[in-house]
Structure 1
Amino acid sequence: MEQGQGLQVYKFGGASVKDAAAILNLCRIVRDFGPKGPLVIVVSAMGKTTNALEEIYELAYAGQAYTEKLRTLDQFHCGVADAVASEPDDKFGVPGLGYGGVTLGTLLEELPERLGGVMPGDYDQQYDQIVGYGELLSSLIMAKALGAQWLDCRSLICTDGNWREARVDWAATERNIDAALPPLLARGLVVTQGFLGGTADGRTTTLGREGSDYTAAILAYCLRAESVTIWKDVAGLLNADPKIFPDTVCYPEISYRETIEMAYYGASVIHPKTLKPLADRNIPLRVKSFLDPEAAGTLIHECQHPALAPAFIRKTDQALLSFASKDFSFISEENMAVIFAALAQAKLKINVMQNSAISFSVCVDFSERRVHQLLDLLREQFTLHYNTGLTLFTIKNYDAASIARLTAGKRLLLEQRTRHTFQFVCQG
């Protein structure tokens, strides 16, 4: 599809589809504020569904009872489906949500079958086969509410088998999307899932937690879209989380580069991988509020702007890992190469790192299973210590006042300063 035909991509996150009222609000936004040209809508799982599916999967993996939690999840989705669609379906007691042989009922039957097959081993691969049902269910309900076409993106977004953080095969994905989407868009609105991809042999993959933004960018890149809009419960791209900082500032416009750095450091509005494919094809990204769709929001594009207000970014549930050589030798490049390889094998992403003569420390998102895997890999070569329950703060475009404000009364375990960024790890 050639650029200039007005194709747009909307992405609606979990908060914007959290219940029936929220979905009906989105239908109003699409009807009253949507583009005149073709539109693809990317949908996340509803509300806290992904968290619930993760909990259910953990119970299944541990061989513990999960049926009551699964029943609650089923009833929730059926209730929302009843509230947003009007055609009864006698077989499943919910509206007739059927697209290409896939119905809400068949999805709700598949999920317990897959959970019943969960067994020890291949934790991440089995995770992807279970947790992706949240997006499948929400997108089916959303498509019905809008009277739109439903598309299973797993057959289009080709990835490798790097479970829970799958890497996109861009050439194959672009071929698939370019063949499948234009004919559908010629007939009307298309709704699909965020977060999901598929391997060549048909297994579901996920693109990383909160990866629905990335899906929107993949589709926009492949279709050469005019723009992408991410609809959030905030006014736009803010300099801080308004739930934590009461005096937030909304950036009216901001560059790709500045936003990529903020996302990398953990700003929750946009997934870190989202910006690169958009910047590569100069596709602007808008962040707008589904609570106030008439407001301007934030425009992210290639631009020059004056100095920005300092951005405050907080990441909780962090672990600080420290590695020391057992023979008191210096931490050399060879030692660090071993540590980096083990971190990659355990799929632990470094948020901050710092070294001294005989020790090397990293701050990572805490996962007990992954940290213990790392310890098993390195305990023979290094003495290892770690602290959990920590918080990582980042100030982008800091000044003296912003540092003093954020560090006051906190016990800093690690701090690091560059030309534009100040980071520290603290307890609590």
Structure 2
Amino acid sequence: MSSRILVFKFGGASVKDSSAVRNVASILRRYEGKNILVILSAMGKTTNALEGVHLCYTLNNTKEALERISESKNYHYQILNDLFSPEHPIFSTIDNLFANLVLELDLAPEPLFDKSYDRIVSYGERIATAILNAFLVESNIPSKLVSAFDYVISDNTYRDAYINWDLTVKKIDESSKEWFKTPSVILTQGFIGRSEEGCPITLGREGSDFSASIFAFALNAKEVIIWKDVPGIMNADPKLIPSACPIEHISYREAVELAYYGATVIHPKTIKPLENKNIPLRVKSFLNPDGKGTLIDRKRADDAKVSSFIFKFNQVLLSVLPHDFSFINERNLSEIFSLFSRNNIRINIMQNSAISFSVCFDHEPAKLSILIKDLQENFKVRYNERVDLITIRNYTENSADEFIKGRKVFLEQKSRSTWQLIVGKI
């Protein structure tokens, strides 16, 4: 039975309002009679809103945190009012979830920023799945809501959790026998799970894709479909490059490279579990369910047919130099990497020279200030803020011309198939 299971992932844009929720239900009706596990993200920009709540919480600004929670509740109530009659029990369910979210503000801020982040931000998916499940049941689509907290088990690395695969697979496999006794939709949260110490965790920004991959791996799924607001994986962001076009087919290898370098259509960790079990992945548009989309599998024949352009904005370029003009050696690098690890900062590109080591990473002011302080104990530190990282896969000689015109290039690297540049603002 498990080989017939389809795993669908719907992102925030797919349930951003009441008409979008209805559209998700209409897509699921197309697959009536099949076993489907649905992974759902928070609605619309709810994750951003809850990140704002968390920031206010860490700054002890309870008044603004409560205001932001109220705004989020009003947003969800607009959707509820369009979908349900006033006496429907979903209103009570959502009231309770928001009441519990408010109670989170009464707890003393965690010493670990990331741990309290996961506790607060994880409410977005819990609220979204409650609403969608209620609407599916109301629409006579057989649906059951299960909690990702009970199945996705990780270590205690908050905001970027490492999955306990053995325990996670065991829990999902045991329950799936009951879930799919008859054809049905099983709905659960993306992005979230439970740490080994029993606290909410998240899988990294846009981690719902990874959630779909985790469940697909455990279920030996037939296929994963990620439903997006684009016609598939594009070779560039159409907002930045109007001539961007969809890619019909790429290999797991090319997909993981694109994701690693920052392509936002797929979470970087999504591919490996699917490749390991040869589970195809499709990226399709929920606005055009009949469209081809992009197929990702083991075949590599089409990988080099089109150049792909990936932009990561708001970066920091930081260089570390020994105080005594000595060479950068393995001991220096070990210390530097340990500080990045301790501060949970992911390096996007690095370059080593005789007496300096340069890295580029996402600009998070709170983490940056702590990192600089830590590094300055043993090194000189220089850095540039507000730089951009451009990555070109399968480049040609002139691929970067239009992006670097009039801009200072701080760092450049080329390999056989990848060209990366760190550039300043115009």
Q: Provide TM-score, normalisation by structure 2.
A: 0.95
Cα deviation 1:206-248 (Å, max 9, x = unaligned): 1111100000000000000000000011110110011111011
* Deviation digits for residues 372-413 of structure 1 (CA, Å, limit 9, x no counterpart): 221222212100011111110000010112122332222111
Output the CA distance in 1 between the equivalents of 2:171 and 2:96: 25
In the alignment, what sits opposite 1:182? 177
- Take 2:324 and 2:192, find their aligned partners in 1: how far apart are those partners? 46
**1:323 and 2:313 matched:** no
Amino acid corresponding to residue 17 of structure 2 in structure 1 = D
Quote the offset at 1:2 in angstroms: 4.0
Is 1:42–1:193's contact at 8 Å kept on the other side of the alignment?
Answer: yes
Q: Which residue of structure 2 aligns with residue 130 of structure 1?
A: 120
CA distance in 2, matches of 1:26, 1:409: 45
Q: CA deviation at 1:281?
A: 0.3
Structure-to-structure mapping, 1:190-209, within 5 angstroms:
190-209=186-205
* Equivalent of residue 36 in structure 1, options 33, 37, 42: 33
Distance 1:312 1:120 in 2: 39
Contact 1:195 1:210 in 2 (8 A): yes
Report how many residues are paired: 416
- Does residue 1:336 correspond to 2:329, yes or no? no
Verify: 1:26 aligned to 2:20, yes or no: no
d(CA) in 1 for partners of 2:282, 2:32: 14
Corresponding residue of 2:140: none
Matched, 1:310 2:299: no
SS in 2 for 1:116: coil
**Conserved? CA contact 1:118–1:126, under 8 Å:** no
Residues 1:96 and 2:85 aligned together: no
1:300 pairs with 296, 305, 324, which one? 296
How far apart, in 1, do the equivalents of 2:154 and 2:352 lie?
35
1:383 aligned partner, one-letter code? K
- Root-mean-square deviation (CA, aligned residues, Å) is 1.4
Whether 2:397 is the aligned partner of 1:404: answer no
Per-residue CA distance 1:338-358 (angstroms, 9 max, x = gap): 111111111111111112211
- 2:9 corresponds in structure 1 to 11
Q: After superposing the two structures, state which structure 1 stretch, 318-327 or 409-418, moved more.
A: 409-418
Which residue of 1 is the match for residue 132 of structure 2? Answer: 142
1:220–1:228: 8 Å Cα contact kept in structure 2? Answer: yes
C-alpha spacing 1:120/1:151, structure 2 compared with 1 (3 Å): closer
The equivalent residue for 2:148 is 153
Q: Give me the identity figure in percent.
A: 40
* Greater CA drift, 296-305 or 185-194: 185-194
Equivalent positions of 1:109-128 (< 5 A) are 109-119=99-109, 121-128=111-118
Return the alpha-carbon distance in structure 1 between the equivalents of residues 286 and 381 of structure 2.
Answer: 47
Question: What amino acid is the match of 2:283?
Answer: V
Partner of 1:92: none
After the TM superposition, list the runs of 4 or more consecutive aligned residues in structure 1 that deviate by more than 6 angstroms.
Answer: none
Give unmatched runs, 5+ long, in structure 1: 90-94
| Matches of 1:132 and 1:288, distance apart in 2 | 26
User: Which amino acid is the alignment partner of residue 153 of structure 2?
Assistant: C
1:38·1:186 contact (CA, 8 Å) conserved in 2?
no
- For 1:272, the equivalent position in structure 2 comes to 268
Partner of 1:387, secondary structure, is strand
Q: Distance in 2 between matches of 1:182 and 1:38?
A: 12
Residues 427/71 of structure 1: CA separation in 2 closer, same or farther (3 Å cut): same
Q: Is 1:253 equivalent to 2:252 in the alignment? A: no
1:348-427 aligned at under 5 Å gives the runs 348-427=345-424
SS at structure 1 position matched to 2:399 = helix
Q: In the alignment, residue 293 of structure 1 is paired with which amino acid?
A: P
Counterparts of 1:19 and 1:178 in 2: how far apart (Å)?
Answer: 33
The Cα shift of 1:149 comes to 1.0
| Kept in 1: contact 2:110–2:116 (CA 8 A) | no
* Distance (whole Å) between structure 1 residues aligned to residue 145 and residue 74 of structure 2: 22
